[in-house]
Amino acid sequence: MSDSAADDFINIWADSNPVDNEFHRNWSTLASAKFASPHLQAVNALRKIYPDHSIVGTFHNLLKFPAVLSSPLPNAPQIGNVIFIPQGRENGQTKGALVDQIEFGAFAVAWDKYDFIVYVASYPSGFGSITMFFILHEGPQGPARSLILKSGLWAESLHDEIWVYNQGWWQKDHQLWVDIQSADWKDVILKDEFKKALHKDVYGFFKSEPIYKELAIPWKRGLIMHGPPVRASLATEKTISIKVIMKTCDEQGFAPLYVKSFQNYAGEEAAMAQVFDKARQLSPCVIVLEDLDALINDRNRSFFLNQLDGLQGNDGLLVIGTTNHFERLDPGLSTRPSRFDRKYLFDDPDLEERKLYVRYWQDKLKINKGIEFPDALVDEVAEQTEQFSFAYLKEAFVSTLVTLAGWEGDDKPTFSRAVKDQIKILRKQLDKVPSASQGSESNSQSDSEKRDFRSLFDTLSDRSLFSVFPPSPLNSNMPVPMEGDVGGGRQRDFRALLDRLQSMPMSPPGQGQSEADAGRDRDFRVLLDRLNDTPEMMAHLEARVADARRRFAELNVPGHGPSAYFATLSAAQLD
């Protein structure tokens, strides 16, 4: 094709009005060459084309503002990409939508009583791209600036959404908002006094600003909601409580901010600064820190505590941290006042709470005429599910209903039989053995406590303990076993522990004993007092002591006095 023919083709395709095409040609020329300031070049080019218009540039996509009316200019080329966005499956079919991603375009925009011309242009920057919006108005800049302000306020507001911080930036999550709408306090099966205390700490905080101001104390509060690790893939009462708090605070105008991680390309400290800056901007609000023990580590703890203490002011911030491993939290978080003032333990339910939960399911299943759920079954299920978590209790009922719904044949079991069968299956998965006397849970020692004590005494023979209890002057001359001498190492470590205990005088502070030593004395006394109350564990300890005596005799190291120490220990604590 000749050049003249090509020109004729272009002229036929293009509109006879050259104004809009001139900017397109300028922009195409600029975008195809090296340039340092495309924004400056674009403004200069537009001023030549529209000398009577004011020009305001912005990164804000005002075309998404519902209050504006926009349509492409007929004489300006529209360049962009069409993107397919997959959506959830419905009725077995995949659904989706097409979205236009504009690289270059020009639009006629109407807002309020003003008309504008808006040019959109994208250009590469760093590892991504930047999209600029140039607002032209035949008159001063005021109307264009007002349009940016109004559309910016709308974009920053929540519209059935929740602010979520994850992977380094804030985003508004509509699906999370949908998920929490079904949460209700009636679905949280906890004792009334527990729920009332939680209600008071959450909702009472937002009502108490005048009291905080009158007392001249910072209007901020922190809560930790913790409990044992979940053993089933179902929501726990802790999770449901968080959902209800987020839902109700949102309804009352206190924006919930949900933090999933502090991962950020600029580092965790930058992420923490972004989180607390956003919270201060939206105050009063509630910040939910999911899995606090995983979010805070040795590298970022100091910076996090500085943000939490609020050198920049944290008025109106209610910070709620959740964790399944409270013991892993640094004391600066778990015990320091004015940071996390209240701790709520969502433990495995006791007999009373299990009865409440089973009655909750009894009420839910009343409308099902094919299920018989008498009051007697409530008591049976509650008694048979000792040491079940709420998640496991829910799993028992859900699995029962699924089993009954899919049952084929005439030998369909009753609801009572089916739920008891599911309880037996879940009991095996728990790896827990119920106590011998059901119904006396508050008076009996839990299996976990017994295992903890056994683990403690087993650890006394562990070589790693030698690093915790270094050799005292009494055993500093003991031979160090060669590598692989496990038996000798255990004997030495156990002896080092006892020598360390023996070297701590049982005297009050101020009589040759430091406060730290006194604290250790109290710790050991408390431990031994607890052992005295546990005959089974005392028998276990006595067996360990007898074994230790035998080992010390085999060592045949004179002058170390183990017999004297054991005589004292037995007379004072083991009677």
The number of beta carbons lying within 10 Å of the beta carbon of residue 469 is 17
Position 529 scores a pLDDT of: 53
Concatenating the DSSP letter of every residue in 419-434 gives HHHHHHHHHHHHT---
pTM of the predicted protein model: 0.63
Distance CA 272, CA 168 (A): 10
Rounded to the nearest 5°, which phi and psi values hold at 475? -120, 15
CATH superfamily for 169-345 is P-loop containing nucleotide triphosphate hydrolases (3.40.50.300)
CB 103 within 8 A of CB 26: no
**In Å, how far from its chain's centre is CA 502?**
45
Rounded to the nearest 5°, which phi and psi values hold at 85? -110, 110
CB 76 within 8 A of CB 105: yes
Give the CA radius of gyration of the chain.
35
Q: Please tell me whether residue 324 adopts helix, strand or coil conformation.
A: coil
CB 148 within 8 A of CB 56: yes
Strand order in the sheet with 220-226: 169-173, 162-166, 255-259, 285-289, 317-323, 220-226, 342-345
**In Å, how far from its chain's centre is CA 219?**
23
Q: b or e along 196-218 (b: 16 or more beta carbons within 10 Å of the residue's beta carbon)?
A: eebeebbbebbeeeeebeeeeeb
Give residue 69's region: left, alpha or beta (phi > 0; psi -120 to 50): beta
Q: What's the DSSP call for residue 57?
A: E
Distance CA 165, CA 169 (A): 6
CB 79 within 8 A of CB 23: no
Position 27 scores a pLDDT of: 79
Identify the H or E element spanning 313.
none
Q: Give just the sign of the alpha carbon dihedral 258, 259, 265, 269.
A: positive
Closest CA to 359 of 371, 347, 377, 372: 377
User: For the chain, which residues make up each domain, given as ranges?
Assistant: 10-85+96-157, 169-345, 363-430, 447-573
What single letter denotes the amino acid at residue 324?
A: N
Q: What's the DSSP call for residue 230?
A: P
Position 46 scores a pLDDT of: 93
User: For residue 349, with 0-12 CB atoms within 10 Å meaning exposed, 13-18 middle and 19 or more buried, which class applies?
Assistant: buried
CB 14 within 8 A of CB 105: no
Cis peptide before 481 (omega within 30 of 0): no
Please state whether beta strands 128-137 and 93-111 pair in parallel, antiparallel, or not at all (unpaired): unpaired
**In Å, how far from its chain's centre is CA 500?**
41
Q: b or e along 301-335 (b: 16 or more beta carbons within 10 Å of the residue's beta carbon)?
A: eebbeebbeeeeebebbbbbbbbbebeebeeebbe
Query: Which are the contacts of 360, defined by CB distance < 8 A and separation ≥ 6?
Result: 187, 189
3-state secondary structure 246-277: HHHHHHCCCEEEEECCCCCCCCHHHHHHHHHH
CB 303 within 8 A of CB 274: no
Q: What's the DSSP call for residue 412?
A: P
Strand partners, 130: 123
Per-residue pLDDT of the chain (575 residues; tens, 9 = 90+): 455 544 544 444 444 555 567 888 887 777 776 657 788 888 999 999 999 999 999 999 999 999 999 999 988 888 888 888 887 777 667 788 888 888 899 999 999 999 999 999 998 887 788 899 999 999 999 999 999 999 999 999 999 999 999 989 999 999 999 999 999 998 888 888 999 999 999 999 999 999 988 888 889 999 999 987 765 444 578 889 999 999 999 999 999 999 999 988 889 999 999 999 999 999 999 999 999 999 999 899 999 999 988 667 889 999 999 998 998 998 888 888 778 989 999 888 889 989 999 999 999 898 888 888 988 999 999 999 988 888 889 899 999 999 888 888 778 888 999 999 999 988 888 765 444 334 434 433 444 444 444 444 444 444 333 333 344 443 434 444 444 444 444 444 445 555 555 454 444 444 444 444 544 444 555 455 555 555 555 566 666 666 666 665 655 545 444 444 444 444 444 44
CB 153 within 8 A of CB 169: no
Position 457 scores a pLDDT of: 47
Position 48 scores a pLDDT of: 92
